[in-house]
Amino acid sequence: MAMSNAVTDQIITGGRPSDWAGKILPLREQAKVTKGWMVHRLETILPELMQREGFDMWLVNVREYNEGPLVMTLLPSPMITARRRTTLVFWRRPDGSVERLILARPGLDVYDVYTDEWKRGEETQWEALARVVRERDPKCIGINCSEVHQFADDLTYTEHAQLMAALGPVYAGRTKWAERLSVGWLERRSPIELEAYPGIQQIAYGIIAEGFSSRVIHPGVTTCDDVVWWMRQRTQDLGLSCWFQPSVRLQRKGLLARADGGAVIMHGDSLHCDFGLHYLGLATDTQQQAYVLRNGEDDAPAGLKAALATCNRLQDVLAENMIAGRTGNEILAASLAQAKGEGIKATIYTHPIGFHGHAAGPYIGLGDNQIAVPGTGEYELFDDTCYSFELNIQQFVPEWDQDVRIALETDVAFTGGKIVYLGGRQTALHLVQ
């Protein structure tokens, strides 16, 4: 039976994001942390995944400026690129450990992680690869091709042709698409990453909390775009980056469609933001709600608070249906059926998160597809993976005499067979004076 997480604490709404600056490591220290995480993953996660998917060799072959999303998670720094052509070779030894080899031009700062196997001056790069493969005689060789998962499809047409020629007919015949291995590598979070992820999410919460406050919003003056650019600037000032352009939208009584862009924020507006940042190689993706108090008000209308509570309940429903082994489509169908039974007008479009914002793993609905997502929706849920619980509800608000859309997005981990909210979740509206 699925277990929903007991953590329902209100997010931290006090303090300025500058308070988080002391938590953000200098660039050099960040590099040490992420490199340590990567080596630990290579030593512990990769051997397990190669055994699970039945590969005794995995080839990752890329060219400079066309590296793709996968190989950068296998190199110790984002400043290290392919340098013309780079081939990583992972060989699962009979004892289950994985040998890590690299065939690349000299000068890459990776040789404390990978063993240099190219005998330059004696052989070409392709000849070196052929020798390495022949000496180890793998029975199943993983290569990165996929029709479904973009993260597992970084072997280009030309590189594939040259790789097959270098391997020769015998070993080329032993290659197999490593889709599930690539996705497994990207989606699996190590224990130390799961330990650190809530702290990354809290930084995002801190930025949103200040953005949705009277420190930033001046009703009648500030526009939605003003808040958007403030969020981007604050993120950059902290030495971090947004992985997409944030958005801020408003709803108000009598306004049937949501407004954004140059719309001026007024007293009595309901606000929504979508915001995501990168820190220590991991992404956040967060949507939260706020209310701009009218003069004389000290709280939001009861109908808006009730709608937020309904959205929280939809999160609970989704959490209850996150069961290991279920596909994304099965989770979607079960969650929507349960929500409908509870009278919730729900839309669910939840996605994996991790190294990338819209990351590798099972997709649970799309905004324009509430039936079944082809391909990525057919992939199953594994333990120690992370997701953005992205969803919304429509609910009638009596004080406004109209339906209101409440959308939340909260990053979670599925670990130990249950959902854990990373850094808590929003259970009360931000209130802007």
The residue ranges of every structural domain in the chain are: 56-177, 190-432
> Once rounded to an integer, what is the mean pLDDT over residues 161-180?
98
The pLDDT of residue 4: 35
Label residue 3 by pLDDT band (50, 70, 90): very low
- pLDDT per residue as tens digits for the range 138-156: 999 999 999 999 999 999 9
- pLDDT per residue as tens digits for the range 386-418: 999 999 999 999 999 999 999 999 999 999 999
Three-state SS for 135-171 is: HHCCCCEEECCCCCCHHHCCCCHHHHHHHHHHHHHHH
The pLDDT of residue 125: 96
**pLDDT over 50 at 75, yes or no:** yes
**Whether the Cβ atoms of residue 303 and residue 334 lie closer than 8 Å to each other:** no
Angstrom distance (rounded) from CA 179 to CA 144: 7
The pLDDT of residue 6: 32
The pLDDT of residue 184: 98
Which H helix or E strand runs over 47? helix 27-53
Tell me the C-alpha to C-alpha distance, in Å, between residue 7 and each of 25, 136, 305, 420, 421: 27, 49, 19, 7, 7
**Whether the Cβ atoms of residue 255 and residue 271 lie closer than 8 Å to each other:** no
Label residue 14 by pLDDT band (50, 70, 90): very low
Name the more confident of 413 and 105: 413
Angstrom distance (rounded) from CA 311 to CA 233: 30
**Whether the Cβ atoms of residue 272 and residue 256 lie closer than 8 Å to each other:** no
The pair of structure tokens assigned to 132 is 């390495």
Label residue 16 by pLDDT band (50, 70, 90): low
- pLDDT per residue as tens digits for the range 220-275: 999 999 999 999 999 999 999 999 999 999 999 999 888 999 999 999 999 999 99
**pLDDT over 60 at 12, yes or no:** no
Label residue 167 by pLDDT band (50, 70, 90): very high
How would you label 319-328 residue by residue, b for 16+ Cβ within 10 Å and e otherwise?
bbbbbeebbb
- pLDDT per residue as tens digits for the range 320-360: 999 999 999 999 999 999 999 999 999 999 999 999 999 99
Angstrom distance (rounded) from CA 1 to CA 403: 35
**Whether the Cβ atoms of residue 412 and residue 387 lie closer than 8 Å to each other:** yes
Which segment of 10-24, 166-180, 344-358 scores lowest on mean pLDDT? 10-24
- CATH tag for 190-432 (out of 3.90.1300.10, 3.20.20.10, 3.90.230.10, 3.90.550.10): 3.90.230.10
What is the pTM for the complete model shown?
Answer: 0.93
Residues 6+ apart with CB under 8 A from 100: 42, 88, 89, 90, 113, 114, 115
The pLDDT of residue 103: 95
- Mean pLDDT for all residues in the chain: 93
Which H helix or E strand runs over 95? none
